């Protein structure tokens, strides 16, 4: 178990030139799926600044090792890398068990593993492609949630965060992807209702468009590895930006700050079953 300090200090601290929140997450045992690139990498960094112990689960071993080194530099107490395709049977159980074997339990799970290839619904008819989207976005979250409930239930508390998307509310060229992300909302709320009595909280973060902040932010297996223009070109980005009330894109750090806050028993102990759009107001669920 990690220590919950009664005297909560929300003063923002500067560590390594970054902002860190004191949220009682020092020593927390955290599993982050898809933790090697873009949003996942940002979330790893966020927990690292809090002094957490982190398991990075990803299919991209070299990128995950790079992020492991970054996390240790930022203040993580320990970082393990679990290289696996979470759509494979038992892979989720193995990832959760890595935290349990290393540190005796699991305090927070972040279901971030995801995949998207934009396409209009009438044209996106390649079943193998969209079945893979369902497997990565939904199956992995179900499997990891089921694996995490046991150790969290034993501990009498835990936090599960689902990284969904504003596409869950309906977006052009995101029909199948959005459907999987909408399913995560139902999964999160069901988990919250069924396991709140065990002290397990379950919440959803819906990012707006997050562009990788540079070449170090993605690995060869990232959906962004094909190049930014192949995912969202500048014309599409500017079209999107005009509909954002704050007129700025979301960053990986924006998502990380929200995830870290929602994972904190000190800051968010009475928050469960909630959906937060971190998109500058692009959607307001």
Q: What is the Cβ-side half-sphere exposure of residue 5, based on CA atoms within 13 angstroms?
A: 11
pTM for this predicted structure: 0.89
Homologous superfamily in CATH for domain 13-278: NAD(P)-binding Rossmann-like Domain (3.40.50.720)
Q: Which of 21-35, 139-153, 210-224 has the highest mean pLDDT?
A: 139-153
List the one residue out of 41, 119, 44, 39 whose CA is nearest residue 279.
39
**What pLDDT is stored for residue 225 in this prediction?**
55
Q: Could you tell me the two tokens for 117?
A: 């290839």
**Per-residue pLDDT for 11 more than 80?**
no
**From 2, 162, 177, 282, active-site residue:** 177
Q: What is the pLDDT of residues 213-239, one digit of tens each?
A: 877 787 766 665 555 555 567 777 787
Average pLDDT of the chain is 89
**Per-residue pLDDT for 87 more than 50?**
yes
- Angle value at C-alpha 285, between 42 and 30, nearest 5 degrees: 30
**Per-residue pLDDT for 153 more than 50?**
yes
Q: What is the pLDDT of residues 103-112, one digit of tens each?
A: 999 999 999 9
Q: Is 75 left (phi over 0), alpha (psi -120 to 50) or beta?
A: left
The answer to whether residue 177 is catalytic is yes
Between 15 and 75, the higher pLDDT residue: 75
Confidence of residue 20 (pLDDT cuts 50, 70, 90): low
* Cα torsion 11, 15, 20, 21: sign: negative
């Amino acid at each position: 178990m990690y220590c919950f300090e009664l005297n909560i200090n929300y003063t923002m601290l500067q560590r390594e030139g970054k902002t860190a929140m004191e949220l009682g997450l020092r020593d927390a045992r955290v599993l982050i799926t898809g933790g090697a690139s873009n949003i996942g990498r940002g979330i790893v960094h966020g927990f690292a600044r809090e002094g957490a112990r982190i398991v990075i689960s990803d299919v991209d071993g070299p990128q995950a090792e790079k992020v492991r080194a970054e996390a240790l530099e930022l203040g993580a107490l320990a970082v393990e890398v679990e290289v696996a395709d979470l759509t494979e049977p038992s892979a989720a159980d193995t990832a959760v068990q890595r935290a349990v074997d290393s540190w005796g339990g699991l305090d927070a799970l972040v279901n971030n593993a995801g995949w998207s290839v934009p396409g209009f619904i009438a044209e996106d008819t390649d079943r193998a492609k969209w079945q893979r989207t369902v497997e990565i976005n939904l199956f992995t979250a179900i499997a990891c949630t089921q694996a995490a409930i046991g150790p969290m239930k034993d501990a009498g508390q835990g936090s599960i965060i689902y990284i969904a998307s504003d596409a869950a509310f309906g977006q052009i060229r995101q029909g199948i992807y959005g459907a999987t992300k909408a399913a995560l909302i139902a999964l999160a709320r069901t988990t919250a209702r069924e396991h709140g009595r065990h002290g397990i909280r379950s919440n959803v973060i819906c990012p707006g468009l997050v562009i990788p902040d540079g070449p170090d932010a993605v690995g060869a297996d990232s959906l962004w590895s094909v190049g930014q223009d192949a995912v969202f070109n500048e014309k599409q980005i500017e079209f999107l930006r005009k509909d954002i009330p704050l007129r700025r894109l979301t960053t990986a750090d924006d998502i990380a700050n929200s995830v870290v806050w929602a994972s904190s028993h000190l800051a968010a102990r009475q928050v469960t079953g909630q959906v937060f759009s971190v998109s500058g107001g692009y959607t307001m669920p």
